[in-house]
Chains A and B, each alone.
Chain A
Amino acid sequence: MTAMAGLGIAVAFKPGRASAAASEIVVCNWGGAALEAFQKAYGAPFKAKSGIEVVIDGTGPATGAIRAMVDSKNVTWDATDGGMTDAVVLGKGGYVEPIDYSIVDKSLVGEGLAAEFGICNYTYSNVLAYDAKKVGATAPSSWNDFFDLEKFPGKRTMCKWIQGQLEAVLLADGVKPEEIYPLDVDRAFKKLEPLLPNLIFWDSGAQSQQLFRDGEVVMGNIWHTRANLLRKENPDYTWTWNQNLMFASAWSVPKGNPAGKKVFDFINSSMDPEGQVTLLRLMGNGPSNPKALALMTDEDKAVYSLAPENAKTGLAVSAQYYADNEAELQNKFLDFISR
């Protein structure tokens, strides 16, 4: 029944063109510039080592899409690029394989980055980004400033997907970083409510960039990777690492993946520091392997969330907390912002 039931929804997701032969690994990520970057950072080195082609499918591995594939027993992805939270949620639902740590070397990644159903492929942060030309002489330097409409008039942007949003609000409201979880949702909503008329909510990374380019917002809570792309376009757009909210992205392996155990060789290979630094240089996605730090120039470190200088005021977003609460919170948040 579940297999049948999945079918209908699987059709709606258009699971992408890539269907895997045994001689390739299909990686699903979120498309755009990441298609080429993943190929250079992870695909090419693996092919050089093993002779196995890596195909990148940019369909976007939403948890719903993975579930639909697994339910319909029509899995075409070997490794998916999701959040650490997704890995826990999918693992709990039985939709992904446990990471085989007899093949993948756990010690390659930093502490807390290797979980049962997902291992961190890269890290990134939500940061306070701003338009230096619009904010005046003193730049905003903390989430407090995000709420200070007098000192920094103008619209702001936040993400309509919940992770990393209320943390910033609560930090601005004076909650200590170590007491952020469990999130005090009511307190956060109370703090956020007066700001709502000045908020535009982004739902894709590209949109968050566009809001800055169009001059619609003076500052925003956006991914540092996108802030980095913006800064490359125009140095007026920049960000502060202060109080950045650190995320771990993770590889997961959908249950019944076409390449079987071979995918874990790929995952292990993707932990090589060289490839990870390549990805950092191309997109700003930070290495999960601490050894990569030794290969970095100062310029690289300036866009790496886990560089000691940047990480010292950072807050690690709790994957476990969101695995337990995200669905509920996401719906509450959407309801709150659309009232």
Chain B
Amino acid sequence: MTSFQRWAFCLTVPAALLTLCLYVLPILQVLALSFTEPTFGVGNYVALFQNAAIGRVVRTTVFVSAVTTVLTIVMSYAVAFALVHMRPATRRVALFMVMVPFWISVLVRAFAWVTILRRNGVLNSALVGSGAVSEPLELVYNQFGVIVGMVHYMMPFAIMLLYANLSEIDLRIIQAARSLGARPVTIFFRVWVPLSMPGLAIAGLFIVIFSLGFLVTPAILGAGRVLMVAEYISVQISSTLRWGVATALSTMLLLVVAILVALAMRSSALRAAFEGGRK
């Protein structure tokens, strides 16, 4: 190590200490609670698997997260693809519009969606007013509303990740494909899509991990009818005082995310995505 490297290393120490004290330590405490509360042992983990209600919560979470991920990826890809093909001036405007939701808190966005989707909301009023439907549609306080809110929350992240990936693709490859007589559809599926696999993989992973832990959006747009893991944990911590089950479930969630990341890192696409930063 050169002395410069040693100095650089020393500069990371305060951040590392903070992370250790405020992040790693509490996580270890949560882990410890899951084995000691209310009595010592693995009872909380056994309970997780025997409790049908928790099973349903987990299934809801997995289903909503999966649908959110697929929809977010498909729509974000379309936006990112369009961004790559825009003239720079148009792209600046478009990127700005993608970024706007970042400045609005997740709470405000959830309430905004309630305003749009509720029975007397903006959308239903327009639909009923124009005669498109005779009865207001049930768009919120159900899984549909939750998924709308979550996809909206996740899309800017996915668009940015995908855009970063797509804009690095060498356009000469596309020209080469075209000059060899490939039709647009073929070019898209056999050139663009394979080359954007690293972006798709990292965006997908990011959204799955984020979705599994969503709290505010499902709580507001689901209004009790869509119960996901994070809200279940929050109820057990703050109101039923079942900290044992709550911490066991948190630990499982952390474990699942860790396994997902580990599995994903085995795929060449994702390794390429992470290594892309090191060149």
What residues make up the interface of A, taking CB atoms closer than 8 Å to B?
1, 4-5, 7-9, 11-13, 62-65, 67, 89, 93, 155, 160-161, 200-203, 214-216, 326-327, 330-332, 334-335, 337-339
Tell me the bound Cα distance from A203 to B29 in angstroms: 29
- B82 part of interface (Cβ distance < 8 Å): no
Structural contact, B29 and A201, CB atoms closer than 8 A = no
Structural contact, A200 and B227, CB atoms closer than 8 A = no
Give which listed residue, A62, A216, A335, contacts B120 with CB less than 8 A.
A216
B: contact size bracket: 35 or more
Offer 12 A-B interface pairs, CB within 8 angstroms, sorted by A: A1-B32, A1-B36, A8-B26, A8-B29, A13-B238, A64-B241, A67-B243, A201-B224, A216-B119, A330-B239, A331-B240, A338-B227
What residues make up the interface of B, taking CB atoms closer than 8 Å to A?
22, 25-27, 29-30, 32-33, 36-37, 53, 56-57, 60, 118-120, 141, 219, 222-227, 232, 235-243
Report the minimal beta-carbon distance from A296 to chain B, rounded to whole angstroms: 34
Give which listed residue, A1, A214, A326, A331, contacts B53 with CB less than 8 A.
A331
Tell me the bound Cα distance from A215 to B227 in angstroms: 25
Report the minimal beta-carbon distance from A158 to chain B, rounded to whole angstroms: 9
Structural contact, B227 and A327, CB atoms closer than 8 A = no
At the interface, is chain B mostly helix, strand, loop or mixed? Answer: helix
Known: A160-B224, A216-B120, A334-B224. A339 touches B56 (CB 8 A): yes
Q: Which residues of B contact A203 (CB under 8 A)?
A: 219, 223-224
Structural contact, B239 and A64, CB atoms closer than 8 A = yes
Structural contact, A214 and B32, CB atoms closer than 8 A = no
Tell me the bound Cα distance from A214 to B124 in angstroms: 13
Report the minimal beta-carbon distance from A54 to chain B, rounded to whole angstroms: 25
Q: Which residues of A contact B226 (CB under 8 A)?
A: 338
Q: Which residues of A contact B60 (CB under 8 A)?
A: 338
Structural contact, B53 and A335, CB atoms closer than 8 A = yes
Structural contact, A65 and B223, CB atoms closer than 8 A = no
Tell me the bound Cα distance from A330 to B37 in angstroms: 20
With contacts A215-B120, A330-B239, A331-B236 known, what are 4 further pairs, Cβ within 8 A? Answer: A7-B29, A9-B29, A203-B219, A331-B242
Give which listed residue, B27, B232, B238, contacts A334 with CB less than 8 A.
B232
Structural contact, A214 and B120, CB atoms closer than 8 A = yes
Q: Which residues of A contact B219 (CB under 8 A)?
A: 203
Please report the number of residue pairs spanning A and B whose Cβ atoms sit closer than 8 angstroms: 94
Known: A160-B224, A203-B224, A338-B227. A7 touches B239 (CB 8 A): no
Give which listed residue, B27, B56, B238, contacts A62 with CB less than 8 A.
B238
Q: Which residues of A contact B235 (CB under 8 A)?
A: 330-331, 334
**For the complex of A and B, 8 pairs with smallest distance between CB atoms:** A8-B26, A201-B224, A64-B238, A327-B240, A335-B53, A338-B227, A160-B224, A8-B29
Q: Which residues of B contact A7 (CB under 8 A)?
A: 26, 29
Tell me the bound Cα distance from A286 to B226 in angstroms: 35
Chain A residue at smallest Cβ distance from B138:
A197
Q: Which residues of A contact B236 (CB under 8 A)?
A: 331
Report the minimal beta-carbon distance from B233 to chain A, rounded to whole angstroms: 11
Structural contact, A337 and B241, CB atoms closer than 8 A = no
Chain A residue at smallest Cβ distance from B121:
A214
Chain A residue at smallest Cβ distance from B27:
A8
Report the minimal beta-carbon distance from A309 to chain B, rounded to whole angstroms: 34
Tell me the bound Cα distance from A339 to B227 in angstroms: 9
Known: A1-B36, A335-B53. A64 touches B225 (CB 8 A): no
Tell me the bound Cα distance from A77 to B219 in angstroms: 28
Known: A200-B223, A201-B225, A338-B224. A8 touches B240 (CB 8 A): no
Tell me the bound Cα distance from A36 to B250 in angstroms: 37
Chain B residue at smallest Cβ distance from A60:
B238
Give which listed residue, B119, B232, B241, contacts A89 with CB less than 8 A.
B241
Structural contact, A93 and B241, CB atoms closer than 8 A = yes
Q: Which residues of A contact B238 (CB under 8 A)?
A: 13, 62-65
Tell me the bound Cα distance from A7 to B32 in angstroms: 12
Tell me the bound Cα distance from A160 to B242 in angstroms: 18
Chain B residue at smallest Cβ distance from A10:
B26
Q: Which residues of A contact B53 (CB under 8 A)?
A: 331-332, 334-335
Q: Which residues of B contact A9 (CB under 8 A)?
A: 26, 29-30, 237, 243
Report the minimal beta-carbon distance from A334 to chain B, rounded to whole angstroms: 6
Q: Which residues of B contact A326 (CB under 8 A)?
A: 240
Q: Which residues of B contact A327 (CB under 8 A)?
A: 240-242
Tell me the bound Cα distance from A11 to B24 in angstroms: 13
Tell me the bound Cα distance from A13 to B235 in angstroms: 13
Chain A residue at smallest Cβ distance from B227:
A338
Tell me the bound Cα distance from A9 to B36 in angstroms: 15
Q: Which residues of B contact A201 (CB under 8 A)?
A: 141, 223-225
